[in-house]
Amino acid sequence: MSGPQRSDGAALNRWRLVLGKNAQDQMPLEGGPKLARMDDALDFLYSREAGPDVRDDISRERQGGSGASQLTVARWLSEVRQLFPQETAEVLQRHALDRYHLTELLTDREVLEKMEPDQALLETILSLKGMMKGDVLEAARRIVRRVVEELTKKMRSQVQRSALGKLDRNSRSNVHSLRNLDIRRTIRKNLAHYDRDQQRLVLEQIYFNGRARRYNPWRVILAVDESGSMLPSIIHSAVMAGIFAGMPMLDTRLIIFDTAVVDLSGRVDDPVQTLMSVQLGGGTNIAGALRYCESLITAPHHTMVVLVSDLCEGGPRQNLYGVCRDIIESGARLIALTALNENAAPEYDRDTAQALADLGAHVGAMTPEKLADFMAGVMRG
């Protein structure tokens, strides 16, 4: 009986979501907070069908609560992306823009600039930037830079605390010995204090290298799936690539892909440019992207290929398995991340993930700090 009851309950919940909040008394939702959030998101959009007078009455009834009346357009778009499948989220967004004309983010710079500059707004801007123009687009770019700078600061601190940070010769050492003296950096940083009369360099700060030796640089190739469902991971990947680019033991390459491959290695140190280049949606050809990554491998035993994708391959899976096998057999490390963000909560093709793991790839979801630790472990052998 428990199976049919769950099925009937799910069907009733779906009908209740379709009918909207006005059906709550006759058909209450039965489930956790996610269903309530979905209900709020749908009500925020489709209650417009009732007309302004009815909507005003409903809004007054809900004042003081935590329901849909408190959602903004930006927050609503973020909720939709998190709660619904990608195809459904795209339909809802299209209805919002075309049917209900919720175009404040696209046409009003002042509305955009008054919004809280956080990751939810960043995701919304990246989703809609193709429709933004003129001063609205410039305002959006400034917001992207502001949020990315805050995120970079936070993630750089995490990387510096990680095992990878301990391998970075740019980090300062607590061991102040002549062997660890960074002469070039010390001179460069103190040039402003050169005493022309005495013709000597006054050293106000002396810099030391970390204790780890610098080995041949490792090449890290980040291949990032730009499908809409991967947006939080795309943001974190772009920021991580920028952090890696500043580490002397890493030679960082960055590509983004859908059915085509775009090499952004030339702007890897600017996450804002990277993110503003992303075109969300479209198909996915992971095999083609990894073939391009394979062409960038020059020293396999000092190369890590980091694939960030939900592993929903649009082409034949055998092509994907073939290129993964070739990369692994070359001696390079293949890391398939089904999510790279603070929550590391993935949604991915489990059959493909298992197949890649069986081939010898490391497959999993990671926070940025965990990825840095993992990379350090690989580098140390």
Q: What DSSP letter does each residue of 332-350 carry, written as one string?
A: -EEEEEEEESSS------H
> How do beta strands 218-225 and 261-263 pair?
unpaired
For 122-143, b/e burial (b = at least 16 CB within 10 A) is: bbbbbbbbeebeeebbebbbeb
Report the chain's C-alpha Rg in angstroms: 25
Question: Contact 190/251 with Cβ under 8 angstroms?
Answer: no
pTM value > 0.75: no
Q: What is the rounded CA–CA span in Å between residue 37 and residue 218? A: 45
Name, in order, each residue with C-beta under 8 angstroms of 51's C-beta and a sequence gap of 6 or more.
Answer: none
Q: Which two tokens stand for residue 231?
A: 């947006």
Predicted local confidence at residue 175, as pLDDT: 45
Q: Render each residue's pLDDT in the chain as its tens digit; 381 residues.
A: 344 444 567 888 888 888 878 788 788 888 788 888 888 989 888 887 765 544 444 444 444 444 444 677 767 877 887 888 877 887 887 788 777 767 776 788 887 887 788 888 898 889 888 888 999 999 999 999 999 999 999 999 999 888 898 877 554 444 455 555 677 777 877 777 777 777 777 776 776 665 444 446 899 999 999 987 788 899 999 999 999 998 988 999 999 999 999 999 999 999 999 999 888 777 899 999 999 999 999 999 999 999 999 999 999 999 999 999 999 999 999 999 998 988 877 789 999 999 999 999 999 999 999 999 999 999 887
Name, in order, each residue with C-beta under 8 angstroms of 351's C-beta and a sequence gap of 6 or more.
Answer: none
Residue by residue, DSSP assigns 177-214 as -GGGB-HHHHHHHHGGGEETTTTEE--S---B--SSPP
Predicted local confidence at residue 305, as pLDDT: 98
Q: What is the rounded CA–CA span in Å between residue 375 and residue 158? A: 14
Question: Contact 226/308 with Cβ under 8 angstroms?
Answer: no
